[in-house]
Amino acid sequence: MVNADERGSSGAPDRVYCYRGRFIAVEYKRSEKEKLRKLQQKHKEWIEKAGGIHITASSWADVEPYVNLLDWSVKIYDVRV
């Protein structure tokens, strides 16, 4: 997994990754109750419209299932090839 973290752009996700060819953006919040701000929501919409994955998480444990799902889907694809 490559982490291409860059600070400074308002509304941009806290972390961005490229994993198995998929763009993954992660916005970390202190708790599950905390909501995305308007500009963060707009970034989420842009990312998903472009085919990326946007995850709002409070820890890596919230992100890991998505990564595991990508691993699983790659294994299924490999079997079909």
Domains of the chain are 2-80 (3.40.1350.10)
CB 24 within 8 A of CB 37: no
Residue 56's pLDDT is what? 93
- State pTM to two decimals: 0.74
Q: 52 with 22: CB under 8 angstroms?
A: yes
What is the pLDDT, as a whole number, of residue 76? Answer: 45
CA distance 52 to 45: 10
Residue 78: which pLDDT band, with cuts at 50, 70 and 90? Answer: very low
Confidence label for 2 from pLDDT (cuts 50, 70 and 90) = very low
Q: What is the pLDDT of residues 6-52, one digit of tens each?
A: 555 788 999 998 888 889 999 999 987 899 999 999 999 999 999 99
- With contact defined as beta carbons under 8 Å apart, do 2 and 24 qualify? no
- Quickly count: other Cβ atoms within 10 Å of residue 64's Cβ: 11
